[in-house]
């Protein structure tokens, strides 16, 4: 590419460089600051999950996963993608979650972890799809209607 100057002394390029097309890649090239990211949502809970190869530590909002989730059901739900892909103990996981309750947060973490694992290694995507870890649960809370006590519950009816 050769440069010429205009009458004002401003250099101008004679040939513009071709625009570079960057394709999204799965695998180690897709990492951001050494972490692979995944976002999960369930009801009103949102979880941002970061993973990287490591010693198997699992932190949720700065606390150990066993301290954060008191129910065994929630702990099992959170580590299910790691267990089915045989990555338990090989991946370091850090999660920031907010909103919802414990079950909603556990579901959001499960989806975010599965998405991060898919970016980390594209070869395990069929395993994650087989167990429905990459499918978002679309169920939400039904809104309350006017003239009723709740979404479906009516006020008590009195005949007399």
The answer as to whether 1 is a domain residue is no
Tens digits of pLDDT across the chain (160 residues): 555 555 555 555 555 555 554 444 455 555 677 899 999 999 999 999 999 999 999 999 999 999 999 999 999 999 999 999 999 989 999 999 999 999 999 999 999 999 999 999 999 999 999 999 999 999 999 999 999 999 999 999 998 8
Residue 103 sits in which domain range? Answer: 31-130
Task: Say which CATH number the domain at 95 has.
Answer: 3.30.230.10
The answer as to whether 87 is a domain residue is yes
- Model's pTM, two decimal places? 0.77
Number of H helices, E strands in the chain: 4, 7
What angle do helix axes 72-84 and 102-120 make, rounded to 10 degrees? 10
The answer as to whether 136 is a domain residue is no
The answer as to whether 36 is a domain residue is yes
Helices (H), 45-95: 65-68, 72-84
The answer as to whether 88 is a domain residue is yes
Number of domains in the chain: 1
The answer as to whether 65 is a domain residue is yes
- Give the Cα separation of 10 and 53 in Å (integer): 50
């Amino acid at each position: 590419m050769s440069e010429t100057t205009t009458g004002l002394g401003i250099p101008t390029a004679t040939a513009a460089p071709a625009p570079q097309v960057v394709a999204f890649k799965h695998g180690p090239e897709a990492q951001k600051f050494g972490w692979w990211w995944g976002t999960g949502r369930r009801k009103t809970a949102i979880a941002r999950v970061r993973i990287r190869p490591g010693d198997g530590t699992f932190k949720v909002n700065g606390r150990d996963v066993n301290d954060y989730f008191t129910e065994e059901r929630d702990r099992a739900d959170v580590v299910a993608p790691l267990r089915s892909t045989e990555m338990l103990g090989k991946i370091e996981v850090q999660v920031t979650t907010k909103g919802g309750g414990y079950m909603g947060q556990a579901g959001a973490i499960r989806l975010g972890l599965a998405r991060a694992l898919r970016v980390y290694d594209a070869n395990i995507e069929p395993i994650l799809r087989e167990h429905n870890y990459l499918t978002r649960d679309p169920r939400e809370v039904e809104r309350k209607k006017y003239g009723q006590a709740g979404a479906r519950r009516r006020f008590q009816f009195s005949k007399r």
